Chain A
Amino acid sequence: MSRACYKIKGGDFERGGTAASGLKEALKRIGAEPAAIRRAVIAAYEAEMNVVIHAHSALMCVRMHNHQVDVEVDDRGPGIPDIELAMRDGYSTAPPAIRELGFGAGMGLPNIRKNSDAFSIESTVGHGTRVRFSVTMRQREGVRWERNSLRIVGEACTHCLRCLQACPTRAVRVHRDGPQVLSHLCTDCTNCARACPSGAITVDVPDALPARPTGTIIVPVAFMVQFGDSATPEDVVDALREIGFGQVVVASAARRALREACLEWASREAAARPVISPTCPAVVNLIQVRFPSLIPHVAPFLPPLEAVVHSTRGEGWFIPLCPAHCTAVAGAAAPSLRLTSPAAVRRALSPILARTAGPAPAPRWAAPPHEAPSPDVLQIAGMHHVMRLLDGIETGLYGDLTLVEPYACELGCFGSPLLWEDPFVARHRWLHVADSFRARAAAVPRPRALEPREGVRLDPDMDRAIAKLAQIEELARSLPGRNCGACGAPDCTTFAEDVVLGRATINGCHNYVAPREDAE
């Protein structure tokens, strides 16, 4: 149970409502569902303003326990002679000056009762009034996620702290023995790996490829255009066959199919617009962790590479372009699927492609490529832009958009940290040849609905989350607020959270310890 008290001063219209604001913030962080937050906040604000209008002073005590918030407002004031009358809609004793401020419509007490699940009032004339109410609340659901596909090499870390600021979900910490990634917050977006200049954070992809591989290989589109100006995608397919693969499946058809399925989905009456294409698995992770309210906007299909894995029944080889691909495939329960890094395949293909290299072919396809910008589709890339976009959708902006295709990496998969060709060049090449890959595919419906993840919630148990919230706030107040990163957390509030959740000790903050030593 957590308890917070707010002093309310009669006649103070400037500050009236601060208690209700405080309550709102706290309820959000313990993960209460939005409808319950709204009811509790309306009731608390009415109670607070009753004190401001009628009483001398009061104490508002808020107790949060499991699935319920109790508020008690105990005022010193004139009291209410006839409670029954005061509870009637429209009855008010407020003076005209107060009415001109918008209060005193005689709706305060009835409004509190209407928005709470339990309500009581007692009053002594000449002494004061005590209003108590409770609102029950369910917890927003969320599952814990413990998987990601980053490889940490602690010895390589130079403690430059660039990764701390790069992470959009504040999942990275840097300790003495190198970086640590909190997997329940990680979205596999690779921002930290990109920011890392020393190779302490990289993507965890098996490098091995046998001398004579067999079976099917699933190849992402961007891989096809990584071999300079002379090797066409057809050459790459031929080379893959030559080193042993029986069948080469390029994921372009799946991308096209997903785009078409999303547009069809967006045209339905029931779709939450803008529809978000699940084309990038890292962005889907981000939505589950940070923007669970947007899950209904995500079109119910698998990302292209997962769709291909699904349709090949999870057998053969697969070239992932990012940790989110690796994590998704690992989660797809395809034990006979084997992963190999783009670099390993490049090493196997290089001798063959060097041999076949001829003069640069002229672009052969004049028709506009299918994956080029379309008026109905907004393509957006880079975590920074994607976060802003999702924030905007959450606050109701962008009602004019039909379909958005957000990618974590700049220029989408062409900007994968595992590829070597410049993303702009690679994408340009692909746009010239895309139409030659005309294979058909169908979008694969997502077998299970997306679940919100626990993400920033402090504890799966609401009661304990409440207690932790109180501790974090108290501790954060005594920290310097410089966000220097010396403790290994991206900012002071996050550090306070780490301490309370047992991920760090208070000694980690030099500025916090120093004054105590002085005192001794």
Chain B
Amino acid sequence: MKLREMAEKLCLNCLTPDLDLEAGPDVAGGHSSDLLSDVLANAPAGGVLVTIQVHMNVIAVASHCELAAVIFAAGRLPDEALRRKATEEGIALFSASRSTFDVVGALYAEGLRGHVG
């Protein structure tokens, strides 16, 4: 599944219009956390992060983990500086009005998986 398809299926609002959502490989997996150290340690490269954390450091961490995209759940919106940074780093940003749990559930239904212990 490409990012565009994911965005359409979940009715996500794209916050980085300058990025091409068809480019790049399929989304590799999912991760959900609001703790940046956890994201840093466990998020899968090429995956998508679901969080309510809108701190600037999210992009630094996402870039380090080579995430394909970040979805801000529960209606959280990052500021302009964060969006600019994400565009520069090539990380797609989306926002969703639904809760973290609902967004993750919908991604799971589309076949994305997390880490199974």
Contact = CB atoms under 8 A, between A and B. Distances in A.
* A–B touching in complex (CB under 8 Å): yes
Contact of A90 (B35, B37, B54): B54
Nearest to B76: A90
Contact of B37 (A92, A100, A102, A105): A100
Interface in B35-60: 35-37, 52-55, 57
Contacts of B52: 105
B17 to A, nearest CB: 22
A181 B83 CA distance: 70
A351 interface: no
Contacts of B37: 100
A29 interface: no
B34 interface: yes
B86 to A, nearest CB: 16
Interface in A101-122: 102, 105
B56 to A, nearest CB: 11
B54 A96 contact: no
B39 to A, nearest CB: 11
A191 B48 CA distance: 62
A503 interface: no
A99 interface: yes
B76 A99 contact: no
A515 B50 CA distance: 63
B36 A105 contact: no
A99 B36 contact: yes
B40 to A, nearest CB: 11
A90 B78 CA distance: 9
Contacts of A105: 34, 52-53
A100 B76 contact: no
A100 B35 contact: yes
A111 B91 CA distance: 30
Contacts of B55: 92, 99
- Chain A interface residue bracket vs B: under 10
Interface in B18-43: 34-37
Contacts of A99: 35-36, 53, 55
A106 to B, nearest CB: 8
Contacts of A96: 36, 57
Contacts of B35: 99-100, 102
Interface string A70-105: 000000000000000000001010001001101001
Task: Please indicate which of the listed interface residues B52, B55, B76 has the most CB atoms of chain A within 10 Å of its own CB.
Answer: B55
B5 to A, nearest CB: 30
A100 B41 CA distance: 13
A370 to B, nearest CB: 46
A404 B52 CA distance: 43
A246 to B, nearest CB: 68
B47 to A, nearest CB: 21
Contacts of B76: 90
A100 B53 contact: no
A102 B33 CA distance: 11
Contacts of A90: 54, 76
Of the listed residues A92, A99, A102, the one surrounded by the most CB atoms of chain B closer than 10 A to its CB is: A99
A369 to B, nearest CB: 49
Contacts of A102: 34-35
B54 A100 contact: no
A359 to B, nearest CB: 71
Nearest to A88: B79
A105 to B, nearest CB: 7
Interface in B48-102: 52-55, 57, 76
A90 B57 CA distance: 13
A99 B35 CA distance: 7
Nearest to A107: B52
A351 B34 CA distance: 83
A100 B37 CA distance: 7
Contacts of A100: 35-37
A55 B55 CA distance: 22
A90 B36 CA distance: 16
Contacts of A92: 55
A90 B74 CA distance: 13
A99 B57 CA distance: 11
A102 B52 CA distance: 12
A89 to B, nearest CB: 8
A96 B40 CA distance: 13
Contacts of B57: 96
A350 to B, nearest CB: 70
A88 to B, nearest CB: 10
Contacts of B36: 96, 99-100
A373 B53 CA distance: 55
A449 B35 CA distance: 51
Interface of B: 34-37, 52-55, 57, 76
17 contacts: A90-B54, A90-B76, A92-B55, A96-B36, A96-B57, A99-B35, A99-B36, A99-B53, A99-B55, A100-B35, A100-B36, A100-B37, A102-B34, A102-B35, A105-B34, A105-B52, A105-B53
Given A102-B35, A105-B34, 15 more contacts: A90-B54, A90-B76, A92-B55, A96-B36, A96-B57, A99-B35, A99-B36, A99-B53, A99-B55, A100-B35, A100-B36, A100-B37, A102-B34, A105-B52, A105-B53
Please list the 7 inter-chain residue pairs (A to B) with the smallest Cβ-Cβ separation, ordered nearest first: A90-B54, A100-B35, A100-B37, A99-B36, A90-B76, A105-B53, A96-B36
